[in-house]
Structure 1
Amino acid sequence: MKASHLYWVLLAAIGTIHLNFFLKNLSWDVPIYLVSLPVIVMVYYLYKKTIFDIKSIGLRWNLILLALQLLLVSLYFAVEPSSAWASFVPLLIFMGLEAIRINGSRKIFDLTRSVLEYEEQQEQINETFRVVRGERHDFLKHVSAVHFMLENGNEKEAKHYLDKLVDGYEETNLSIKGERGVVAGVLHQMYRRAQQSGISVVYDLDLPLSTLPISDSNMVTLIGNLLSNSIDACEEWQKHHREQAVLTMQFYKRSGLYLLVCKNNSLPIPTPVLDELYHSYGHTTKGKGHEGLGTKMVMDIVEAHQGFLDFVYRDEEFTVKIKIPAIR
Protein backbone atom coordinates (compact mmCIF):
# COMPACT_ATOMS: atom_id res chain seq x y z
CA MET A 1 0.00 0.00 0.00
CA LYS A 2 1.31 3.46 -0.89
CA ALA A 3 2.20 5.81 1.96
CA SER A 4 -0.46 8.30 0.84
CA HIS A 5 -3.14 5.57 0.80
CA LEU A 6 -2.05 4.40 4.25
CA TYR A 7 -2.41 7.98 5.48
CA TRP A 8 -6.07 8.15 4.37
CA VAL A 9 -6.81 4.75 5.97
CA LEU A 10 -5.27 5.89 9.27
CA LEU A 11 -7.19 9.16 9.03
CA ALA A 12 -10.48 7.26 8.68
CA ALA A 13 -9.60 4.96 11.60
CA ILE A 14 -8.60 7.80 13.96
CA GLY A 15 -11.64 9.87 12.95
CA THR A 16 -13.91 6.91 13.69
CA ILE A 17 -12.41 6.52 17.18
CA HIS A 18 -12.96 10.20 17.97
CA LEU A 19 -16.54 10.21 16.72
CA ASN A 20 -17.32 6.94 18.52
CA PHE A 21 -16.21 8.29 21.91
CA PHE A 22 -18.09 11.54 21.33
CA LEU A 23 -21.35 9.69 20.57
CA LYS A 24 -20.86 7.41 23.58
CA ASN A 25 -20.66 10.43 25.86
CA LEU A 26 -23.96 11.59 24.38
CA SER A 27 -25.36 8.22 25.54
CA TRP A 28 -25.96 7.24 21.92
CA ASP A 29 -25.29 3.56 21.45
CA VAL A 30 -24.41 3.54 17.74
CA PRO A 31 -22.82 0.46 16.10
CA ILE A 32 -19.22 1.07 15.08
CA TYR A 33 -19.93 0.39 11.39
CA LEU A 34 -22.53 3.18 11.39
CA VAL A 35 -20.10 5.50 13.18
CA SER A 36 -17.41 4.81 10.59
CA LEU A 37 -19.72 5.38 7.61
CA PRO A 38 -19.87 9.23 7.72
CA VAL A 39 -16.13 9.35 8.52
CA ILE A 40 -15.28 7.17 5.52
CA VAL A 41 -17.52 9.27 3.27
CA MET A 42 -15.82 12.48 4.44
CA VAL A 43 -12.32 11.04 4.08
CA TYR A 44 -13.13 9.74 0.61
CA TYR A 45 -14.42 13.20 -0.36
CA LEU A 46 -11.17 14.79 0.86
CA TYR A 47 -9.17 12.11 -0.96
CA LYS A 48 -10.89 12.91 -4.26
CA LYS A 49 -10.65 16.67 -3.83
CA THR A 50 -7.08 16.79 -2.53
CA ILE A 51 -4.88 17.06 -5.64
CA PHE A 52 -1.54 17.32 -3.85
CA ASP A 53 0.63 14.65 -2.27
CA ILE A 54 0.55 14.69 1.54
CA LYS A 55 4.24 13.62 1.44
CA SER A 56 5.09 17.14 0.25
CA ILE A 57 5.46 18.34 3.88
CA GLY A 58 8.08 15.66 4.46
CA LEU A 59 8.30 12.47 6.50
CA ARG A 60 9.39 14.27 9.67
CA TRP A 61 6.34 16.52 9.94
CA ASN A 62 3.98 13.73 8.93
CA LEU A 63 5.39 11.57 11.75
CA ILE A 64 5.11 14.44 14.26
CA LEU A 65 1.47 15.05 13.32
CA LEU A 66 0.74 11.32 13.41
CA ALA A 67 2.30 11.07 16.88
CA LEU A 68 0.10 13.92 18.09
CA GLN A 69 -2.96 12.20 16.63
CA LEU A 70 -2.12 8.93 18.38
CA LEU A 71 -1.47 10.82 21.64
CA LEU A 72 -4.96 12.31 21.37
CA VAL A 73 -6.49 8.87 20.89
CA SER A 74 -4.55 7.50 23.88
CA LEU A 75 -6.17 10.13 26.11
CA TYR A 76 -9.52 8.37 25.72
CA PHE A 77 -8.08 5.23 27.32
CA ALA A 78 -5.88 6.96 29.91
CA VAL A 79 -8.51 9.43 31.12
CA GLU A 80 -12.02 8.57 30.03
CA PRO A 81 -13.94 11.80 29.26
CA SER A 82 -16.75 12.49 31.73
CA SER A 83 -18.93 14.51 29.34
CA ALA A 84 -19.67 14.95 25.65
CA TRP A 85 -17.94 18.34 25.65
CA ALA A 86 -14.79 16.81 27.11
CA SER A 87 -14.67 14.29 24.24
CA PHE A 88 -15.55 16.99 21.73
CA VAL A 89 -12.30 18.89 22.44
CA PRO A 90 -10.00 16.08 21.18
CA LEU A 91 -12.25 15.78 18.12
CA LEU A 92 -11.76 19.49 17.39
CA ILE A 93 -7.99 19.19 17.92
CA PHE A 94 -7.96 16.19 15.56
CA MET A 95 -9.68 18.21 12.84
CA GLY A 96 -7.37 21.17 13.50
CA LEU A 97 -4.25 19.04 13.09
CA GLU A 98 -5.56 17.64 9.82
CA ALA A 99 -6.38 21.15 8.60
CA ILE A 100 -2.75 22.13 9.36
CA ARG A 101 -1.47 19.09 7.49
CA ILE A 102 -3.69 19.69 4.46
CA ASN A 103 -3.08 23.44 4.26
CA GLY A 104 0.65 23.00 4.77
CA SER A 105 0.83 20.32 2.08
CA ARG A 106 -1.18 22.51 -0.30
CA LYS A 107 1.08 25.52 0.18
CA ILE A 108 4.26 23.49 -0.27
CA PHE A 109 2.75 21.76 -3.30
CA ASP A 110 1.86 25.13 -4.86
CA LEU A 111 5.31 26.56 -4.14
CA THR A 112 7.04 23.51 -5.60
CA ARG A 113 4.87 23.68 -8.71
CA SER A 114 5.58 27.42 -9.07
CA VAL A 115 9.33 26.80 -8.87
CA LEU A 116 9.13 24.07 -11.52
CA GLU A 117 7.01 26.30 -13.76
CA TYR A 118 9.49 29.16 -13.33
CA GLU A 119 12.41 26.91 -14.25
CA GLU A 120 10.51 25.64 -17.29
CA GLN A 121 9.66 29.22 -18.35
CA GLN A 122 13.30 30.26 -17.98
CA GLU A 123 14.40 27.32 -20.10
CA GLN A 124 11.84 28.18 -22.79
CA ILE A 125 12.91 31.83 -22.88
CA ASN A 126 16.59 30.84 -23.09
CA GLU A 127 15.86 28.42 -25.93
CA THR A 128 13.86 31.04 -27.86
CA PHE A 129 16.61 33.62 -27.33
CA ARG A 130 19.23 31.13 -28.51
CA VAL A 131 17.27 30.44 -31.71
CA VAL A 132 16.75 34.16 -32.46
CA ARG A 133 20.39 34.92 -31.74
CA GLY A 134 21.50 32.07 -34.00
CA GLU A 135 19.27 33.27 -36.84
CA ARG A 136 20.58 36.81 -36.47
CA HIS A 137 24.17 35.57 -36.41
CA ASP A 138 23.69 33.65 -39.68
CA PHE A 139 21.58 36.29 -41.45
CA LEU A 140 24.46 37.99 -43.32
CA LYS A 141 25.79 34.59 -44.38
CA HIS A 142 22.42 33.74 -45.94
CA VAL A 143 22.30 37.11 -47.72
CA SER A 144 25.80 36.54 -49.12
CA ALA A 145 24.83 33.06 -50.32
CA VAL A 146 21.71 34.37 -52.12
CA HIS A 147 23.72 37.26 -53.60
CA PHE A 148 26.32 34.82 -54.93
CA MET A 149 23.63 32.63 -56.55
CA LEU A 150 22.00 35.63 -58.24
CA GLU A 151 25.35 36.94 -59.51
CA ASN A 152 25.97 33.56 -61.11
CA GLY A 153 22.52 33.39 -62.71
CA ASN A 154 21.13 30.70 -60.42
CA GLU A 155 17.77 32.36 -59.86
CA LYS A 156 15.87 29.11 -59.29
CA GLU A 157 18.40 27.87 -56.79
CA ALA A 158 18.30 31.25 -55.02
CA LYS A 159 14.49 31.14 -54.88
CA HIS A 160 14.52 27.62 -53.46
CA TYR A 161 17.12 28.66 -50.88
CA LEU A 162 15.06 31.70 -49.90
CA ASP A 163 11.87 29.62 -49.57
CA LYS A 164 13.57 27.26 -47.11
CA LEU A 165 15.06 30.21 -45.25
CA VAL A 166 11.71 31.98 -44.93
CA ASP A 167 10.03 28.80 -43.65
CA GLY A 168 12.59 28.60 -40.87
CA TYR A 169 12.22 32.26 -39.93
CA GLU A 170 8.43 31.99 -40.05
CA GLU A 171 8.50 29.34 -37.31
CA THR A 172 10.27 31.75 -34.96
CA ASN A 173 8.36 34.83 -36.09
CA LEU A 174 4.98 33.19 -35.43
CA SER A 175 5.97 32.67 -31.83
CA ILE A 176 7.71 35.90 -30.85
CA LYS A 177 6.12 38.80 -32.72
CA GLY A 178 4.75 41.26 -30.18
CA GLU A 179 4.79 38.72 -27.35
CA ARG A 180 6.24 39.03 -23.87
CA GLY A 181 9.23 36.79 -23.24
CA VAL A 182 7.51 34.01 -21.30
CA VAL A 183 4.60 33.82 -23.76
CA ALA A 184 6.95 33.76 -26.75
CA GLY A 185 8.91 30.97 -25.06
CA VAL A 186 5.83 28.79 -24.57
CA LEU A 187 4.53 29.38 -28.11
CA HIS A 188 7.91 28.64 -29.64
CA GLN A 189 8.49 25.50 -27.58
CA MET A 190 5.04 24.10 -28.33
CA TYR A 191 5.41 24.91 -32.04
CA ARG A 192 8.71 23.04 -32.21
CA ARG A 193 7.35 20.10 -30.22
CA ALA A 194 4.37 19.80 -32.58
CA GLN A 195 6.61 20.09 -35.65
CA GLN A 196 8.88 17.32 -34.34
CA SER A 197 5.80 15.09 -34.01
CA GLY A 198 4.75 15.86 -37.60
CA ILE A 199 1.70 17.89 -36.56
CA SER A 200 0.60 20.80 -38.72
CA VAL A 201 0.43 23.90 -36.50
CA VAL A 202 -1.33 27.16 -37.36
CA TYR A 203 -1.08 30.23 -35.12
CA ASP A 204 -3.76 32.58 -36.44
CA LEU A 205 -3.27 35.54 -34.12
CA ASP A 206 -4.88 38.88 -35.03
CA LEU A 207 -3.01 40.44 -32.10
CA PRO A 208 -0.40 39.18 -29.63
CA LEU A 209 -1.62 36.81 -26.92
CA SER A 210 0.28 39.02 -24.48
CA THR A 211 -2.50 41.60 -24.80
CA LEU A 212 -4.72 39.36 -22.66
CA PRO A 213 -5.20 40.99 -19.22
CA ILE A 214 -3.61 37.99 -17.50
CA SER A 215 -0.38 37.71 -15.51
CA ASP A 216 2.65 36.00 -17.02
CA SER A 217 2.41 32.96 -14.74
CA ASN A 218 -1.28 32.45 -15.53
CA MET A 219 -0.64 33.00 -19.24
CA VAL A 220 1.99 30.28 -19.25
CA THR A 221 -0.38 27.90 -17.45
CA LEU A 222 -3.30 28.75 -19.74
CA ILE A 223 -1.49 28.60 -23.10
CA GLY A 224 0.87 25.83 -22.06
CA ASN A 225 -1.91 23.48 -20.95
CA LEU A 226 -4.14 24.22 -23.95
CA LEU A 227 -1.36 23.54 -26.46
CA SER A 228 0.16 20.62 -24.56
CA ASN A 229 -3.21 18.83 -24.33
CA SER A 230 -3.87 19.54 -28.01
CA ILE A 231 -0.49 18.14 -29.06
CA ASP A 232 -1.01 15.01 -26.94
CA ALA A 233 -4.41 14.45 -28.58
CA CYS A 234 -2.96 15.01 -32.06
CA GLU A 235 -0.14 12.54 -31.44
CA GLU A 236 -2.63 9.83 -30.42
CA TRP A 237 -4.84 10.65 -33.40
CA GLN A 238 -1.88 10.37 -35.79
CA LYS A 239 -0.82 7.01 -34.39
CA HIS A 240 -4.33 5.65 -34.90
CA HIS A 241 -5.09 7.12 -38.33
CA ARG A 242 -1.53 7.36 -39.74
CA GLU A 243 -2.38 10.81 -41.11
CA GLN A 244 -1.11 14.28 -40.30
CA ALA A 245 -3.05 15.93 -37.50
CA VAL A 246 -3.83 19.65 -37.46
CA LEU A 247 -3.67 22.01 -34.50
CA THR A 248 -4.99 25.56 -34.82
CA MET A 249 -4.88 28.39 -32.31
CA GLN A 250 -6.83 31.56 -33.10
CA PHE A 251 -6.85 34.79 -31.14
CA TYR A 252 -8.83 37.93 -31.91
CA LYS A 253 -10.88 40.66 -30.29
CA ARG A 254 -14.57 41.31 -30.91
CA SER A 255 -16.98 43.68 -29.12
CA GLY A 256 -14.91 44.14 -25.98
CA LEU A 257 -14.07 40.44 -25.69
CA TYR A 258 -10.83 38.58 -26.31
CA LEU A 259 -11.56 35.26 -28.02
CA LEU A 260 -9.09 32.40 -27.87
CA VAL A 261 -9.95 29.29 -29.88
CA CYS A 262 -7.91 26.09 -29.93
CA LYS A 263 -8.82 23.24 -32.31
CA ASN A 264 -7.18 19.87 -32.77
CA ASN A 265 -7.82 16.38 -34.05
CA SER A 266 -8.72 13.95 -31.31
CA LEU A 267 -9.74 10.34 -30.88
CA PRO A 268 -13.19 9.76 -29.32
CA ILE A 269 -13.38 10.94 -25.70
CA PRO A 270 -15.51 8.94 -23.22
CA THR A 271 -18.72 10.75 -22.28
CA PRO A 272 -18.04 10.63 -18.49
CA VAL A 273 -14.71 12.39 -19.08
CA LEU A 274 -16.31 14.99 -21.37
CA ASP A 275 -19.01 15.70 -18.79
CA GLU A 276 -16.45 16.58 -16.10
CA LEU A 277 -13.65 18.00 -18.26
CA TYR A 278 -12.58 21.50 -17.18
CA HIS A 279 -14.93 21.30 -14.18
CA SER A 280 -13.06 19.10 -11.70
CA TYR A 281 -9.65 17.53 -11.10
CA GLY A 282 -8.75 13.95 -11.88
CA HIS A 283 -10.35 13.67 -15.34
CA THR A 284 -7.92 12.97 -18.16
CA THR A 285 -7.73 11.05 -21.42
CA LYS A 286 -3.96 10.47 -21.11
CA GLY A 287 -4.03 7.34 -18.99
CA LYS A 288 -1.89 6.50 -15.97
CA GLY A 289 0.70 8.98 -14.81
CA HIS A 290 -1.54 11.98 -15.47
CA GLU A 291 -3.67 13.58 -12.80
CA GLY A 292 -6.03 15.68 -14.92
CA LEU A 293 -4.86 18.94 -13.36
CA GLY A 294 -4.32 20.98 -16.52
CA THR A 295 -7.90 21.36 -17.71
CA LYS A 296 -9.22 22.41 -14.29
CA MET A 297 -6.36 24.91 -13.91
CA VAL A 298 -7.34 26.43 -17.26
CA MET A 299 -10.94 26.79 -16.09
CA ASP A 300 -9.84 28.33 -12.78
CA ILE A 301 -7.81 31.00 -14.63
CA VAL A 302 -10.69 31.79 -17.00
CA GLU A 303 -13.18 32.11 -14.14
CA ALA A 304 -10.76 34.24 -12.10
CA HIS A 305 -10.77 36.76 -14.97
CA GLN A 306 -14.59 36.76 -15.34
CA GLY A 307 -14.27 34.78 -18.55
CA PHE A 308 -16.26 31.98 -20.17
CA LEU A 309 -15.02 28.62 -21.46
CA ASP A 310 -16.87 26.28 -23.78
CA PHE A 311 -15.72 23.14 -25.58
CA VAL A 312 -17.16 20.94 -28.30
CA TYR A 313 -16.15 17.50 -29.57
CA ARG A 314 -17.50 16.64 -32.99
CA ASP A 315 -16.29 14.44 -35.89
CA GLU A 316 -12.94 13.72 -34.16
CA GLU A 317 -12.20 17.41 -33.67
CA PHE A 318 -11.96 18.98 -30.23
CA THR A 319 -12.54 22.74 -29.95
CA VAL A 320 -12.02 24.94 -26.90
CA LYS A 321 -13.33 28.50 -27.02
CA ILE A 322 -12.40 31.00 -24.32
CA LYS A 323 -13.88 34.48 -23.96
CA ILE A 324 -12.29 37.00 -21.62
CA PRO A 325 -13.48 40.61 -21.14
CA ALA A 326 -11.04 43.25 -22.38
CA ILE A 327 -10.78 44.79 -18.91
CA ARG A 328 -7.57 45.47 -17.02
Structure 2
Amino acid sequence: MLLSLPTLYFVVRLIDRTRQDTVLSTQEHYIDQISGMFTSIRGQRHDYLNHIQVMHTMLQLGKLAELKAYMSDVVKETHQVGDIVQHDIPAVGALLKAKTAVALSLGIDFVSDFSGPWNPKSPVKIIDIVKIAGNLIDNAFDEVVKLPAGERRVRASFKLWDGFLELTVSNPGPPISEAAKARLFEPGFSTKPGENRGLGLPIVRERVAHYDGTLTFHSDENRGTVFQVRLPQKAAQLS
Protein backbone atom coordinates (compact mmCIF):
# COMPACT_ATOMS: atom_id res chain seq x y z
CA MET A 1 0.00 0.00 0.00
CA LEU A 2 1.51 3.32 -1.11
CA LEU A 3 1.55 6.26 1.26
CA SER A 4 0.03 9.55 0.17
CA LEU A 5 2.39 12.52 -0.17
CA PRO A 6 1.01 14.29 2.94
CA THR A 7 1.39 11.10 4.98
CA LEU A 8 4.91 10.51 3.68
CA TYR A 9 5.86 14.11 4.49
CA PHE A 10 4.48 13.70 8.01
CA VAL A 11 6.46 10.47 8.55
CA VAL A 12 9.69 12.10 7.34
CA ARG A 13 9.14 15.11 9.61
CA LEU A 14 8.40 12.80 12.54
CA ILE A 15 11.62 10.83 11.98
CA ASP A 16 13.61 14.05 11.68
CA ARG A 17 12.06 15.45 14.86
CA THR A 18 12.80 12.22 16.72
CA ARG A 19 16.42 12.37 15.57
CA GLN A 20 16.73 16.00 16.70
CA ASP A 21 15.20 15.17 20.08
CA THR A 22 17.65 12.29 20.52
CA VAL A 23 20.65 14.48 19.67
CA LEU A 24 19.43 17.19 22.07
CA SER A 25 18.89 14.66 24.83
CA THR A 26 22.40 13.27 24.32
CA GLN A 27 23.93 16.76 24.38
CA GLU A 28 22.09 17.65 27.57
CA HIS A 29 23.26 14.38 29.12
CA TYR A 30 26.93 15.12 28.50
CA ILE A 31 26.58 18.78 29.51
CA ASP A 32 25.17 17.60 32.84
CA GLN A 33 28.12 15.24 33.31
CA ILE A 34 30.72 17.91 32.50
CA SER A 35 28.94 20.22 34.93
CA GLY A 36 29.10 17.47 37.53
CA MET A 37 32.84 17.14 37.01
CA PHE A 38 33.44 20.85 37.66
CA THR A 39 31.12 20.72 40.68
CA SER A 40 33.24 17.91 42.13
CA ILE A 41 36.44 19.87 41.56
CA ARG A 42 34.98 23.04 43.12
CA GLY A 43 33.71 20.93 46.01
CA GLN A 44 37.19 19.59 46.67
CA ARG A 45 38.63 23.11 46.81
CA HIS A 46 35.82 24.21 49.11
CA ASP A 47 36.35 21.25 51.47
CA TYR A 48 40.14 21.48 51.54
CA LEU A 49 40.31 23.76 54.60
CA ASN A 50 37.84 21.56 56.47
CA HIS A 51 40.00 18.50 55.81
CA ILE A 52 43.12 20.30 57.05
CA GLN A 53 41.35 21.38 60.25
CA VAL A 54 40.06 17.87 60.93
CA MET A 55 43.48 16.29 60.39
CA HIS A 56 45.19 18.93 62.56
CA THR A 57 42.75 18.26 65.40
CA MET A 58 43.22 14.48 65.13
CA LEU A 59 46.99 14.98 65.29
CA GLN A 60 46.69 17.16 68.41
CA LEU A 61 44.49 14.54 70.07
CA GLY A 62 46.92 11.77 69.21
CA LYS A 63 44.34 9.90 67.12
CA LEU A 64 46.98 8.60 64.73
CA ALA A 65 45.10 5.54 63.47
CA GLU A 66 42.01 7.61 62.73
CA LEU A 67 44.18 10.31 61.13
CA LYS A 68 45.82 7.78 58.83
CA ALA A 69 42.45 6.39 57.72
CA TYR A 70 41.03 9.87 57.17
CA MET A 71 44.05 10.99 55.15
CA SER A 72 43.78 7.85 53.03
CA ASP A 73 40.15 8.68 52.19
CA VAL A 74 41.00 12.29 51.33
CA VAL A 75 43.89 11.27 49.07
CA LYS A 76 41.77 8.63 47.32
CA GLU A 77 38.96 11.11 46.59
CA THR A 78 41.42 13.73 45.36
CA HIS A 79 43.14 11.30 43.01
CA GLN A 80 39.84 10.11 41.56
CA VAL A 81 39.11 13.56 40.16
CA GLY A 82 42.46 15.32 40.22
CA ASP A 83 44.80 12.97 38.35
CA ILE A 84 45.54 13.98 34.76
CA VAL A 85 44.80 11.23 32.28
CA GLN A 86 47.92 10.99 30.13
CA HIS A 87 47.16 9.99 26.56
CA ASP A 88 47.02 11.44 23.08
CA ILE A 89 43.29 12.18 22.84
CA PRO A 90 42.26 15.16 25.04
CA ALA A 91 38.54 14.65 24.29
CA VAL A 92 38.70 11.11 25.67
CA GLY A 93 40.58 12.42 28.70
CA ALA A 94 37.79 14.95 29.30
CA LEU A 95 35.18 12.21 28.93
CA LEU A 96 36.93 9.99 31.46
CA LYS A 97 37.24 12.88 33.89
CA ALA A 98 33.51 13.54 33.58
CA LYS A 99 32.73 9.86 34.12
CA THR A 100 35.07 9.75 37.13
CA ALA A 101 33.16 12.62 38.73
CA VAL A 102 29.84 10.86 38.07
CA ALA A 103 31.20 7.59 39.46
CA LEU A 104 32.40 9.34 42.59
CA SER A 105 28.93 10.78 43.22
CA LEU A 106 27.35 7.32 42.76
CA GLY A 107 29.84 5.42 44.90
CA ILE A 108 31.26 3.54 41.90
CA ASP A 109 34.88 2.39 41.81
CA PHE A 110 35.69 3.49 38.24
CA VAL A 111 39.13 2.74 36.80
CA SER A 112 40.25 3.55 33.26
CA ASP A 113 43.51 3.16 31.37
CA PHE A 114 44.78 4.15 27.94
CA SER A 115 47.82 2.64 26.25
CA GLY A 116 49.46 2.86 22.85
CA PRO A 117 50.17 5.71 20.40
CA TRP A 118 47.21 7.39 18.75
CA ASN A 119 47.37 7.63 14.97
CA PRO A 120 46.49 11.26 14.06
CA LYS A 121 45.59 10.06 10.56
CA SER A 122 43.08 7.57 11.89
CA PRO A 123 39.85 7.42 9.87
CA VAL A 124 37.92 7.12 13.12
CA LYS A 125 36.56 10.46 14.30
CA ILE A 126 37.31 11.31 17.90
CA ILE A 127 33.70 12.37 18.43
CA ASP A 128 32.66 8.81 17.58
CA ILE A 129 35.16 7.35 20.04
CA VAL A 130 33.57 9.56 22.69
CA LYS A 131 30.07 8.42 21.67
CA ILE A 132 31.01 4.76 21.80
CA ALA A 133 32.97 4.92 25.05
CA GLY A 134 30.49 7.23 26.75
CA ASN A 135 27.50 5.04 26.00
CA LEU A 136 29.23 1.82 27.07
CA ILE A 137 30.41 3.39 30.34
CA ASP A 138 26.95 4.85 30.99
CA ASN A 139 25.43 1.43 30.42
CA ALA A 140 27.84 -0.13 32.92
CA PHE A 141 27.12 2.60 35.50
CA ASP A 142 23.38 1.98 35.15
CA GLU A 143 23.92 -1.68 35.98
CA VAL A 144 26.29 -1.40 38.94
CA VAL A 145 24.22 1.20 40.81
CA LYS A 146 21.81 -1.67 41.44
CA LEU A 147 24.52 -3.42 43.48
CA PRO A 148 25.56 -2.85 47.11
CA ALA A 149 28.01 0.03 47.54
CA GLY A 150 31.09 -2.15 47.99
CA GLU A 151 30.46 -4.09 44.77
CA ARG A 152 30.08 -1.18 42.34
CA ARG A 153 33.03 -1.49 39.96
CA VAL A 154 33.46 -0.45 36.33
CA ARG A 155 36.62 -0.85 34.24
CA ALA A 156 37.28 0.90 30.91
CA SER A 157 40.40 -0.01 28.96
CA PHE A 158 41.62 1.67 25.76
CA LYS A 159 44.40 -0.12 23.86
CA LEU A 160 45.97 0.96 20.60
CA TRP A 161 47.79 -1.98 19.07
CA ASP A 162 48.14 -3.97 15.86
CA GLY A 163 46.48 -1.16 13.91
CA PHE A 164 43.30 -1.19 15.99
CA LEU A 165 41.74 0.77 18.82
CA GLU A 166 40.38 -1.75 21.28
CA LEU A 167 37.93 -0.55 23.93
CA THR A 168 36.78 -2.87 26.70
CA VAL A 169 34.20 -1.92 29.35
CA SER A 170 33.35 -4.38 32.11
CA ASN A 171 31.21 -4.50 35.23
CA PRO A 172 30.09 -7.11 37.77
CA GLY A 173 26.48 -8.00 38.38
CA PRO A 174 23.78 -10.47 37.34
CA PRO A 175 24.11 -11.74 33.76
CA ILE A 176 21.97 -10.29 30.99
CA SER A 177 19.00 -12.57 30.35
CA GLU A 178 18.71 -14.42 27.06
CA ALA A 179 15.51 -12.51 26.27
CA ALA A 180 17.27 -9.18 26.83
CA LYS A 181 20.30 -10.26 24.79
CA ALA A 182 18.06 -10.84 21.78
CA ARG A 183 16.82 -7.23 21.93
CA LEU A 184 19.89 -5.53 23.37
CA PHE A 185 20.66 -3.44 20.27
CA GLU A 186 17.05 -2.74 19.38
CA PRO A 187 16.34 1.04 19.40
CA GLY A 188 14.08 1.94 22.29
CA PHE A 189 14.55 -1.31 24.18
CA SER A 190 15.75 -0.97 27.75
CA THR A 191 15.51 -2.84 31.03
CA LYS A 192 15.46 0.53 32.80
CA PRO A 193 12.42 2.80 33.20
CA GLY A 194 12.28 6.36 31.89
CA GLU A 195 12.19 8.31 28.66
CA ASN A 196 15.03 8.44 26.11
CA ARG A 197 16.16 4.98 27.15
CA GLY A 198 17.38 2.21 24.89
CA LEU A 199 19.38 4.52 22.61
CA GLY A 200 22.96 4.02 23.80
CA LEU A 201 23.77 0.53 22.54
CA PRO A 202 22.10 1.03 19.13
CA ILE A 203 24.25 4.16 18.72
CA VAL A 204 27.35 2.14 19.62
CA ARG A 205 26.51 -0.59 17.13
CA GLU A 206 25.79 1.89 14.34
CA ARG A 207 29.06 3.78 14.85
CA VAL A 208 31.10 0.58 15.06
CA ALA A 209 29.51 -0.74 11.86
CA HIS A 210 30.22 2.59 10.14
CA TYR A 211 33.96 1.93 10.54
CA ASP A 212 33.73 -1.80 9.76
CA GLY A 213 34.73 -2.51 13.33
CA THR A 214 33.60 -5.30 15.61
CA LEU A 215 31.37 -5.22 18.69
CA THR A 216 31.22 -8.26 20.96
CA PHE A 217 29.96 -8.90 24.47
CA HIS A 218 29.56 -11.67 26.98
CA SER A 219 27.65 -11.79 30.23
CA ASP A 220 27.71 -14.52 32.85
CA GLU A 221 27.54 -15.04 36.59
CA ASN A 222 31.29 -15.37 37.11
CA ARG A 223 32.77 -12.63 34.91
CA GLY A 224 29.90 -10.14 34.89
CA THR A 225 29.28 -8.22 31.67
CA VAL A 226 32.01 -7.22 29.22
CA PHE A 227 31.63 -5.20 26.01
CA GLN A 228 34.53 -4.99 23.58
CA VAL A 229 34.89 -2.76 20.50
CA ARG A 230 37.66 -2.92 17.89
CA LEU A 231 38.04 -0.10 15.38
CA PRO A 232 40.62 0.02 12.54
CA GLN A 233 43.16 2.83 12.83
CA LYS A 234 44.29 2.88 9.21
CA ALA A 235 42.24 3.95 6.21
CA ALA A 236 43.50 0.96 4.25
CA GLN A 237 41.85 -1.34 6.78
CA LEU A 238 38.42 0.04 6.00
CA SER A 239 36.59 -1.89 3.33
TM-score normalized by the length of structure 1 = 0.55
Given that 1:260 and 1:321 are in contact with CA atoms closer than 8 Å, whether structure 2 keeps it comes out as yes
Matched residue, 1:167 = 76
Secondary structure of 1:274's match?
A: helix
- Structure 1 residue matching 2:151: 3-state secondary structure: coil
Percent identity (aligned): 21
* 1:313, distance to aligned residue in structure 2 (A): 1.8
Cα distance between partner residues in 1 of 2:63 and 2:50: 17
Q: 2:161 aligns with which of 243, 254, 270?
A: 254
Q: Are 2:136 and 1:226 equivalent residues in the alignment? A: yes
Distance in 1 separating the partners of 2:189 and 2:78: 38
Deviation at 1:285, TM superposition (A): 3.3
Aligned to 1:309: 215
Question: Please, which runs of 5 or more residues in structure 2 have no aligned partner?
Answer: none
Q: 1:192 and 2:104 equivalent?
A: yes
Distance 1:272 1:161 in 2: 46
If you compute each CA radius of gyration, which structure gives the higher value, 1 or 2? 1
Matched residue, 2:191? 285
For residues 95 and 296 of structure 1, what CA distance do their matches in structure 2 show?
30
Cα deviation, residue 281, structure 1: 2.5
Q: Number of residues paired by the alignment?
A: 226
- Is 2:114 the counterpart of 1:202? no
Q: Deviations over 1:45-72 (max 9, x none)?
A: xxxxxxxxxxxxxxxxxxxxxxxxxxxx
SS of the equivalent of 2:160 reads: strand
Q: Secondary structure at the match of 1:170?
A: helix
Q: CA, structure 1 residues 327+99, in 2 after alignment: closer, same or farther (shift >3 Å)? A: farther
1:322 aligned residue (206, 229, 239): 229
Distance 1:141 1:247 in 2: 30
Question: Contact conserved, 1:183 with 1:219, CA < 8 A, in 2?
Answer: no
Partner of 1:275: 182
Alpha-carbon shift at residue 325 of structure 1 (Å): 2.3
1:259–1:152 Cα change, 3 Å: same
Q: Distance in 1 between matches of 2:46 and 2:102?
A: 24
Match of 1:177 in 2: 85
Q: Are the equivalent residues in 1 in contact too, given 2:103–2:141 (CA < 8 A)?
A: no
Establish whether residue 115 from structure 1 lines up as the match of residue 34 from structure 2: no
Contact 2:81 2:101 in 1 (8 A): no
Change (3 A) 1:285 1:116: closer
Matched, 1:296 2:199: no
The structure 1 segments of at least 4 consecutive aligned residues displaced by more than 4 Å after TM superposition are 137-158, 210-213, 287-291
SS at match of 1:206: strand
- Output the amino acid matched with 2:166: L
Q: Scaled by the length of structure 2, what TM-score is found? A: 0.72
For 2:100, the aligned partner's letter is H
Correspondence for 1:106: 15
Report how far residue 108 of structure 1 moved: 1.7
Native 8 Å contact 2:176 2:220 kept in 1: no
Opposite residue 116 of structure 1, the aligned amino acid is S
RMSD: 3.8
- Specify whether residues 322 and 190 from structure 1 end up closer, same or farther in structure 2 by C-alpha distance, changes over 3 A only: farther
Task: Please report how far the alpha carbon of residue 310 of structure 1 lies from its aligned counterpart in structure 2 after TM superposition.
Answer: 0.5
Distance 2:115 2:43 in 1: 26
* Between structures 1 and 2, the one with greater strand share: 2
